[in-house]
Each structure stands twice: as structure tokens, then as C-alpha cells.
Amino acid sequence: MNGVFQLWLPILVTAVLIFVASSLIHMVFKWHNSDYRKLANEDDVRAAIRAGSPLPGQYVLPHCTDMKDMQGDAMQKKFVEGPNAFVTIRKNGLPTMGTALSLWFVYCIVIAAIAGAIAIHVYGLNANPHRAGHLVGLVSFLAFTCGSIQMGIWMGKPWGSVAKDALDGLIYATIGAFTFMWLWP
């Protein structure tokens, strides 16, 4: 654990550079904008959801409490008729970008710290910076990418969106790898 403290500089610089890269991806290049579609009857859907007064959380349509319920004709009919959806309901109010950006930055620090800790565990502090950086990049790629792949498999996230997330993860992992190569103690 003491070794991780010696990596404070590459951890912090990695987090800052990834934060900047992600800001460019989302605010300048905007390649994720096409991932989100508008419903043709958005106001009607909003009104219907609001009428149900759901609490913030995750919902599924159609809702099936037990997989045994899938055997019934009524439930199967719901799935065939559609829509089939996973919906996340957030609390009402304007999005708080400050909170989200702060949490993202902390997340970037945590991933860099864990990747650095794994590199120290595998290679030690006297490691070849190239090898340590390579391992940091691989671990970072897994951390930034695999959640989106899971969402594609289980939640139906479009594979084009997953591919863009993987590209983001590759960019972030490359930043982490090169930063650790550069600043390895």
C-alpha cells in the first residue's frame, strides 16, 4: 500500500488528463449525442410516467417478478407486443453537473490508483516503466469498458453505443498507460 502513495503524481495526472479527454469527447466532438433518441410522443410518455409517481430507481417493462412468470401466455404476449425496456428514473429537478463531474473525477482517480496498485503488485516499484504502464493501460481499459459491454449483453444497450464507449475506454487507457510510463518512480 505504501507503494501506491509513491504513485500519487501519475495517479493524479492520469485522472486530470482523462477528465480533460472525456470533456472533449462529450462537449467538443459529441460523438455520443447520436446514442440518445427522442420518443415521438415524449410528452405523452412523460405524462404517463409522471401519473404513476415512480420513485427514482430502475424499472423494467414488462415487469416479470419471477422467471416462472415467463411461461404464462399473458406475460409472453406482453413481451411480443412490446415495448421491452429498461428505464432509469432519476429524481426530479435540473441535472447537477457539478456532482456528476466530481464523481467522475473521483472515479478516474480510483481507477488510476487501482491500476497502479496492480502494476506495483505485479512488477514492483523498480519495474520497467513501459511494462508497468502497459499493465496500467490494460487494467484501465477493462475498468472503463466492461460495464458498457455488460449493458449491451443484459440491458440491450445498442452495440454502436457500446463500441463508442469502448473507444472512449481505449483513449482513457492509453492516457493512463503513457502517463504511468512517463511518471513511473
Average pLDDT, rounded, for the chain: 95
The string of DSSP letters for 20-57 reads HHHHHIIIII-TTGGG----TTHHHHHHHHHHH-PPSE
Its pTM stands at 0.92
E runs forming strands in the chain: 57-61, 85-89
89 — phi, psi (to 5°)?
Answer: -105, 125
Among 121, 120, 122, 174, smallest CA distance to 144 is for 174
Reduce the DSSP state of residue 92 to 3 states and report it: coil
Strand ranges (DSSP E) for 69-122?
85-89
Q: Evaluate whether 108 touches 15 at the Cβ level (below 8 Å).
A: yes
Query: For position 182, what pLDDT does the model report?
Result: 98
- Residue 98 pLDDT > 60: yes
**pLDDT, tens digit (0-9, with 9 covering 90-100), for 135-178:** 999 999 999 999 999 999 999 999 999 999 999 999 999 999 99
| Average pLDDT rounded to a whole number, residues 101-112 | 98
